[in-house]
């Protein structure tokens, strides 16, 4: 029987990077367990995973989804929280916008007690993950596993051109390179699917590593809990193809993502003691921070019908141009982002003004001791008055921009729109609370930070406080969110942790 040096739970953005990097040492035996199916070649990947946002069906690849449901606000109907359940995890189903966190984000992380995560320390790892096809300089990587590119102005469809022009006319600066520190305004998104193929960790990291004798990847392997010998993580109990197995390993790295990682820690006895006791889970460690401080980028979608003969964009990404700006009265640079595009099937224009640095936080709690039952997710979007203020401003801005001449030729009547509530702050707040939705960037449920703050779960190298042989590396350990879609940041963190874990 093989004995594993490292057992990794979850093959997503972080788990994919770690499995590939740690197995570079041929003497190190790595086991990667993934709850969803494994596809062992690029050709075997279903087309919605392979092409993602370049296919009509790939608008949200719900064929490989955990199917979570959540409370957005007390006034909103339950919302779906998509998460990839497949080799590559959410990197296999995401929208491939490859924006980095900004230097101010990492200044915040340092201020929260994470001095190893200053901008100067993370930039080399942002460079390491990418091969930028448009910019070659000290800010961009040129030989990493993930190709990153932008659609040029000549390629943009009519709606993206109209959006770009409207933003420039409104006074926002051009931002041709959104990953360059200090930039703001409107410009082409860096995408890790510029050539149509979505470069998930399944493709970019795991595929080239599959031939290694020391890397074992097992799909349909649902980890139920981490097993301990005293305070040392010694392995896991898992359901593999439906059958129970116990697997031991020298160390365990939990990469289940912002929802499954705190869930698995709690199921293994690490979490808020009273909550664990309420479910008769023996308490290994009382950690009140597990499942606390859930962050996201909250949004409220606006929708208009477009001209029925508007050409459907089924082969290129429908988000090619983005707008970032700082809200009025905000101390947070680039705290807002707007996603904009025409849905390739439904003939609707959708605009998603989104807070990239929200002050409201949520919670995650178990409802069952069965790993297959999702935890209760309560996002608490827009609970903070400054979040509502910024969202009101953003909605008014987007409606004004879509009302400009460049859209008159193809935009028809509104479908989801605040109507008269637009002109009244309390009524607009109510509309916001009813239409609150996820920005798909859940994080910070097992935060990294100093042990003394009482709520941090892992140290700056991802090691779980109070245990031996157990690390968490994924979106759950972000001390707080970054002002960008978080995939590139999770990959960057995993690359850095891999160097340490080697
Ligand atoms: C629809 C959507 C669109 C998005 N768009 C973007 C975007 O455009 N740009 C961007 O930067 N970010 C985007 N994101 C977010 C980004 O993809 C994620 O934040 C990131 O991939 C999270 O990485 P992770 O490693 O933390 O978790 P994941 O990538 O989710 O990986 C977790 C893995 O663990 C596995 N797992 C969970 N529980 C168990 C268990 N019990 N046993 C075994 N395996 C388990 C899961 O199946 C999964 O494979 C999007 C996300 C979604 C869902």
For residue 476, the ligand 1 atom closest to its alpha carbon is 26
> Tens place of pLDDT for every residue, the chain, 502 residues?
568 999 999 999 999 999 999 999 999 999 999 999 999 999 999 988 998 776 665 566 577 999 999 999 999 999 999 999 999 999 999 999 999 999 999 999 999 999 999 999 999 999 999 999 999 999 999 999 999 999 999 999 999 999 999 999 999 999 999 999 999 999 999 999 988 899 999 999 999 999 999 999 999 999 999 999 999 999 999 999 999 999 999 999 999 999 999 999 999 999 999 999 999 999 999 999 999 999 999 999 999 999 999 988 878 888 999 999 999 999 999 999 999 999 888 889 999 999 999 999 999 999 999 999 999 999 999 999 999 999 999 999 999 999 999 999 999 999 999 999 999 999 999 999 999 999 999 999 999 999 999 999 999 999 999 999 999 999 999 999 999 999 999 999 999 999 999 9
CB of 323 closer than 6 A to ligand 1? Answer: no
Give the whole-angstrom CA distance, residue 313 versus residue 398: 22
Question: Which are the contacts of 432, defined by CB distance < 8 A and separation ≥ 6?
Answer: 300, 382, 388, 391, 392, 395
* CA distances in angstroms from 320 to 98, 134, 409, listed in the order given: 12, 15, 20
Mutation test residue for ligand 1: of 18, 84, 97, 206, the one with most atoms within 8 Å of CB: 84
Nearest alpha carbon to residue 120 among 147, 138, 98: 138
- Whether residue 103 contacts residue 115, with contact meaning beta carbons closer than 8 Å, is answered with no
Q: What is the dihedral of CA 55, 61, 62, 67, to 10 degrees?
A: -160
User: Are the C-beta atoms of 444 and 290 separated by less than 8 Å?
Assistant: no
Residue 156's pLDDT is 95
List 317, 319, 435, 441, catalytic entry: 441
Residue 22 Cβ < 6 Å to ligand 1: no
pLDDT at position 313, please? 80
Residue by residue, DSSP assigns 75-126 as: TSPPEEE--B-STTGGGGTS--B-PPP-HHHHHHHHHTT-GGG-HHHHHHHH
Task: Give nearest CA residue, ligand 1 atom 23.
Answer: 13
Q: Catalytic residue at 417?
A: no
Two tokens, residue 464: 């779980």
Q: Is 85 in the pocket of ligand 1 (CB under 6 A)?
A: yes
Q: How far, in Å, CA of 57 to CA of 48, rounded? A: 6
For ligand 1, mutation pick of 7, 11, 12, 476 (most atoms within 8 Å of CB): 12
Residue 12 CB–ligand 1 contact under 6 Å: yes
- Best of 7, 90, 322 for a ligand 1 pocket test (most atoms within 8 Å of beta carbon): 90
Q: Does domain 4-48+199-294+443-501 have CATH number 3.40.50.300?
A: no
Helix (H) or strand (E) run with residue 181 in it? none
What does pTM read for this prediction?
Answer: 0.98
The reply to whether ligand 1 has any atom less than 6 angstroms from the CB of 374 is no
Asked if residue 430 lies in contact with residue 422, where contact means CB atoms within 8 angstroms, the answer is: no
CA angle (164 as vertex; 60, 313 as ends), nearest 5: 40
Q: What residues are paired with 342 via a beta bridge?
A: 349
**Ligand 1 within 6 A of CB of 428:** no
Query: Does residue 95 contact residue 485 with C-beta atoms inside 8 Å?
Result: yes
SS3 of 228, please? strand
150: its two tokens:
């932008």
Judge whether 428 and 422 are in contact, CB under 8 Å. yes
Every domain of the chain and the residues it spans: 4-48+199-294+443-501
Cβ of 191 below 6 Å from ligand 1? no
C-alpha 275 – ligand 1 centre gap (Å): 26
């Amino acid at each position: 029987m093989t004995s594993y040096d490292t057992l990794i739970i979850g093959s997503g953005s972080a788990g994919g990077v770690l499995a590939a990097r740690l197995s570079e040492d041929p003497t190190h035996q790595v086991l990667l367990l993934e709850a969803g199916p494994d596809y062992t070649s690029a050709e075997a990947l279903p087309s919605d995973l392979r092409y993602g946002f370049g296919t009509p069906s790939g608008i949200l690849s719900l064929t490989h989804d955990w199917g979570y449901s959540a409370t957005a606000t007390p006034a909103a109907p339950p919302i779906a929280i998509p998460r990839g359940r497949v080799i590559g995890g959410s990197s296999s189903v995401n929208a491939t916008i490859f924006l980095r966190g900004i230097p101010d984000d990492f200044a915040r992380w340092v201020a929260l007690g994470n001095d190893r995560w200053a901008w100067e320390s993370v930039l080399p790892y942002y460079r390491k993950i990418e091969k930028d096809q448009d910019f070659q300089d000290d800010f961009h990587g040129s030989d990493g596993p993930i190709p990153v590119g932008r659609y040029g102005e000549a390629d943009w469809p009519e709606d993206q051109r109209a959006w770009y022009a409207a933003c420039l006319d409104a006074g926002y600066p051009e931002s041709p390179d959104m990953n360059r520190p200090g930039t703001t305004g409107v410009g082409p998104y860096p995408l890790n699917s510029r050539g149509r193929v979505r470069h998930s960790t399944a493709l970019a990291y795991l595929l080239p590593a599959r031939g290694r004798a020391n890397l074992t990847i097992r799909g349909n392997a649902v980890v139920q809990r981490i097993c301990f010998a005293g305070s040392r993580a010694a392995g896991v109990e898992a359901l593999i193809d439906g059958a129970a197995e116990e697997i031991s390993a020298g160390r365990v790295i939990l990469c289940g993502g912002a929802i499954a990682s705190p869930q698995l820690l709690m199921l293994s006895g690490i979490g808020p003691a009273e909550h664990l006791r309420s479910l008769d889970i023996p308490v290994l460690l009382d950690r009140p921070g597990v499942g606390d401080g859930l962050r996201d980028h909250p949004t409220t979608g606006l929708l208009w019908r477009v001209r029925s003969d508007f050409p459907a964009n089924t082969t290129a990404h429908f988000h090619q141009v983005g707008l970032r700006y700082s809200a009025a009265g905000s101390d947070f640079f680039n705290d807002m982002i707007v996603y904009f595009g025409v849905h390739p099937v439904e003939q609707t224009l959708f605009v998603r003004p989104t807070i990239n640095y929200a002050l409201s936080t949520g919670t995650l709690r178990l409802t069952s001791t069965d790993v297959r039952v999702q935890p209760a997710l309560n996002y608490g979007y827009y609970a903070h008055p400054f979040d509502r203020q910024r969202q009101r401003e953003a909605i008014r801005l987007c409606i004004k921009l879509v009302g400009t001449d460049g859209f008159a030729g193809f935009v028809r009547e509104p479908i989801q729109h605040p109507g008269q509530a637009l002109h009244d702050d309390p009524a607009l707040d109510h509309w916001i609370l009813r239409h609150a939705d996820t920005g798909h960037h859940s994080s910070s449920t097992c935060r990294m930070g100093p042990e003394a703050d009482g709520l941090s779960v892992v140290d700056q190298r991802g090691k779980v406080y109070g245990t031996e042989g157990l690390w968490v590396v994924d979106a759950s350990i972000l001390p707080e969110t970054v002002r960008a879609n978080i995939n590139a940041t999770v990959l960057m963190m995993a690359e850095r942790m891999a160097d340490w874990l080697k």
